[in-house]
Structure 1
Amino acid sequence: MNPKLKRRFRSLTALASAFILSISVLPAHAEETIDSLRDKTSTLQNELDGLNTELSSISADVDNILTQITETTAQVEQTKTELGEALANEEQQYNNMKMRIRYMYEEGKTAMLDTLFSAISMADFLNKADFITKVSEYDRAMLEKLQNTREEIAAKEQALEIQQQELLTLQAELTAKKDVLASRISTASGELSAYSAKLEQAIAAEKAAQEALAKKAEEEKQAALEQAQKEEAEQQAQQKPSRPDPDDSGNSDHSGNSHPADQSDLDLFAAILQCEAGTRDYDALLAVATVIMNRMESSKYPDTLHGVIYQSGQFSPTWNGSLDKVLKKGAVSLCYTVASDALGGARHPDVRNCYQFRASYTGHHGIVIGGNVFF
């Protein structure tokens, strides 16, 4: 490559490189937006996790209080039953005592004296006197005991009712707090979903922008390279005779047959040569052209350029898309020169009897010319 073309290629490469570097500069604002969205999403997720944990704790407390309320209610009912029984016992004892008192007053002291004096002995007298005293003391003691029991049960009932009311109040407070938390969770979930969607959109937009920038940079870089190669090939073509003389260096001869071709065949021939041998080396291009012409002149292969080039499984550019790409853009002038020379009868003497070639890196045994090995 001459110095002028080198400078131009370097200039174009620098422009492409600068454009590639812009990829890391242009999305900076987008990255900040994505970072802020990620921070917000993370904050909302942490808040939502905390709210859910708190809600679970409160729900457990509510369930525990409901269990306590159920137990306390049962105790209140049991205490009411016990209080009713105590009141009934107290009433019964009170009635029994009233009957005995009424009997003593109605019958008078005479009946009591008669009872005492009917004793047959002093021991009997003392026993009857003690019996009368014990009956009175028993009635008084039982009445006091029943009254105390009733008061204890009533106090217990009152305490249980207070506890029950406190539990109901606490239940109402926790339920209200639970409702507030549920509302906050619903709000946080909605915000989290919204920010998550924004984050996904931002990431997708950034990815699309980066891909578009990278594609454009690659296209411009490739265009710069192809332009530089094209200009270099044109200069080489200007410096090389359009058709080598048989008396020249010996890298070509005109021992082949001449094959008239229309413009479409020439375009196809030049394009396949560029795909298989590049754009710079006349000898490498002529060697590939010679193999194609050898095939066209052999009874083992199709007898047309189109038939040889598009024969199934022979030339990979026909199926990988590279041939169509070159046909669309047009081959460089050097490839047209070699194609015209080959159609006019020029052949590379080293591969005059070769019908196959592979890329030289495959290590296949044969004659290496340019980047291919011929056999």
Structure 2
Amino acid sequence: MTACAKQPAPGVTVDGREAECLARAMYFESHRSSRDGMVAVGSVVMNRVDSEAYPGSVCAVVAQPGQFAPGVTSRPMTSRALPLVREAATSVLVGERHPLVGNAEFFHAASYSAGYNNMHYVLVTGGNAFYEKRAPHLVKQPTPPRPIEGLTR
């Protein structure tokens, strides 16, 4: 575990089922490409949990149809990256957030080019572009910024 990773405070427990659901979203959506990418995906999940527009639990958010990778709740996770994925999920559950995700509740593959005028991009990391949906006149960053890594380490 890195110095920047948050560990549960003494007496604080992390729900194992919620940790597994978050780890699954991070694993399948970030392609285990970077810790920043995993924490950014986890930050989006937590933003959705905190929003009244989405279910109020990690597992319910991750299981929403059409929102995350197909089979996110059921496909096997087999990778040497699993310890890092699980550490990052625990860290997000106890409060770590990617510092540039802010209020973003959405992301897509960085290679995808969307043609909508309401996407305010905040970050590209771990192979994904993260954005907030805004009224078009409030969009200040309509294209994905340059990728950045290494902010969560």
- TM-score, normalised via structure 2 length: 0.68
Task: Verify: 1:370 aligned to 2:126, yes or no.
Answer: yes
Q: 2:26 aligns with which of 247, 266, 273?
A: 273
Query: In the alignment, which residue of structure 1 is the partner of 2:138?
Result: none
Question: What is the alpha-carbon distance in structure 2 between the residues aligned to residue 283 and residue 260 of structure 1?
Answer: 24
Q: How does 1:149-188 map to 2 (within 5 A)?
A: none
Query: In the alignment, which residue of structure 2 is the partner of 1:241?
Result: 3
The structure with the largest alpha-carbon Rg is 1
1:323 CA drift (Å): 4.3
Task: Verify: 1:335 aligned to 2:85, yes or no.
Answer: yes
Q: Tell me which stretches of 4 or more aligned residues in structure 1 moved more than 6 Å.
A: none
1:280 CA drift (Å): 4.2
Distance change (3 Å), C-alpha of 1:283 and 1:361:
same
Q: Secondary structure at the match of 2:108?
A: strand
Question: What is the alpha-carbon distance in structure 2 between the residues aligned to residue 372 and residue 266 of structure 1?
Answer: 21
1:309 CA drift (Å): 0.6
Task: Verify: 1:353 aligned to 2:115, yes or no.
Answer: no
Question: What is the alpha-carbon distance in structure 1 between the residues aligned to residue 91 and residue 16 of structure 2?
Answer: 14
Q: How does 1:110-259 map to 2 (within 5 A)?
A: 240-241=2-3, 243=5
Q: Secondary structure at the match of 1:361?
A: coil
1:363 CA drift (Å): 2.2
Q: 1:313 aligns with which of 66, 78, 89?
A: 66
1:242 CA drift (Å): 6.5
Question: What is the alpha-carbon distance in structure 2 between the residues aligned to residue 371 and residue 298 of structure 1?
Answer: 25
Question: What is the alpha-carbon distance in structure 1 between the residues aligned to residue 110 and residue 29 of structure 2?
Answer: 12
1:357 CA drift (Å): 0.4
Q: Secondary structure at the match of 1:350?
A: coil
Question: What is the alpha-carbon distance in structure 1 between the residues aligned to residue 61 and residue 13 of structure 2?
Answer: 16
1:322 CA drift (Å): 5.3
Distance change (3 Å), C-alpha of 1:288 and 1:309:
same
Q: Specify the code of the residue in structure 1 equivalent to 2:88.
A: V
Question: What is the alpha-carbon distance in structure 2 between the residues aligned to residue 300 and residue 344 of structure 1?
Answer: 22
Query: In the alignment, which residue of structure 1 is the partner of 2:17?
Result: 264
- TM-score, normalised via structure 1 length: 0.30
Task: Verify: 1:303 aligned to 2:56, yes or no.
Answer: yes
- Residues 208-243 of structure 1 show CA distances to partners (whole Å, capped at 9, x for unaligned) of xxxxxxxxxxxxxxxxxxxxxxxxxxxxxx5x3371
The runs of 5 or more residues in structure 2 that have no matched partner are 132-153
- Residues 294-318 of structure 1 show CA distances to partners (whole Å, capped at 9, x for unaligned) of 000111110001110111221133x
Q: Specify the code of the residue in structure 1 equivalent to 2:126.
A: G
Distance change (3 Å), C-alpha of 1:260 and 1:357:
farther
1:341 CA drift (Å): 0.8
Relative to total residues, which structure has the larger strand share, 1 or 2?
A: 2
Question: What is the alpha-carbon distance in structure 1 between the residues aligned to residue 67 and residue 109 of structure 2?
Answer: 13
Distance change (3 Å), C-alpha of 1:280 and 1:334:
farther
Question: What is the alpha-carbon distance in structure 2 between the residues aligned to residue 260 and residue 294 of structure 1?
Answer: 20
* Cα RMSD after superposing both structures: 2.5
The runs of 5 or more residues in structure 1 that have no matched partner are 1-237, 246-258
Task: Verify: 1:293 aligned to 2:46, yes or no.
Answer: yes
Q: Specify the code of the residue in structure 1 equivalent to 2:125.
A: I
Q: Secondary structure at the match of 2:75?
A: helix
Q: Secondary structure at the match of 2:124?
A: strand
Query: In the alignment, which residue of structure 2 is the partner of 1:36?
Result: none
RCO higher in structure (CA 8 A, sep ≥6): 2
Q: Secondary structure at the match of 1:374?
A: strand
Question: What is the alpha-carbon distance in structure 2 between the residues aligned to residue 268 and residue 341 of structure 1?
Answer: 14
Relative to total residues, which structure has the larger helix share, 1 or 2?
A: 1
Q: Secondary structure at the match of 1:289?
A: helix
Identity %: 31
